[in-house]
Amino acid sequence: MHTILSHPLVSTAMSVLRDKHTTAAAFREALERLAFHLCLACTTELSLRSYELSTPLEQTTGYALQGGVVVVPVLRSGLTLLHAFTQCIPEATIGYVGLKRDETTLVPKEYYCNVPPLDENTTVIILDPMLATGGSMCAAIADLKKRGATQIIAAVVLAAPEGIAEVEREHPDVPIVCAAMDRALNSHGYIVPGLGDAGDRAHGTV
**CATH code at position 124:** 3.40.50.2020
Q: Annotated catalytic sites, by residue?
A: 101, 105, 197, 200
Rg, Å, the chain Cα set = 17
The answer to whether residue 101 scores a pLDDT higher than 90 is no
Q: What is the band of 107 on the pLDDT scale with cuts at 50, 70, 90?
A: confident
C-alpha 69/C-alpha 71 separation (Å) is 7
pLDDT in tens, 163-178: 999 999 999 999 999 9
C-alpha 154/C-alpha 135 separation (Å) is 13
Q: What are phi and psi of 167, to 5 degrees?
A: -65, -40
Instruction: Tell me the three-class secondary structure of the chain, residue by residue.
Output: CEEECCCHHHHHHHHHHHCCCCCHHHHHHHHHHHHHHHHHHHCCCCCEEEEEEECCCCEEEEEEECCCEEEEEEECCCHHHHHHHHHHCCCCEECEEEEEECCCCCCEEEEEEECCCCCCCCEEEEECCEECCCHHHHHHHHHHHHCCCCEEEEEEEEECHHHHHHHHHHCCCCCEEEEEECCEECCCCCEECCCCCHHHHHHCCC
Residue of 76, 81, 97, 101 whose CA lies nearest to 163:
101
pLDDT value at residue 189: 85
Quote the number of domains for the chain. 1
Q: What is the band of 205 on the pLDDT scale with cuts at 50, 70, 90?
A: confident
Average pLDDT over residues 79-86: 95
Q: What is the band of 109 on the pLDDT scale with cuts at 50, 70, 90?
A: confident
pLDDT value at residue 103: 67
pLDDT value at residue 76: 84
Residues of the domain holding 128: 2-203
Q: How many residues does the chain have?
A: 206
CB 154 within 8 A of CB 123: no
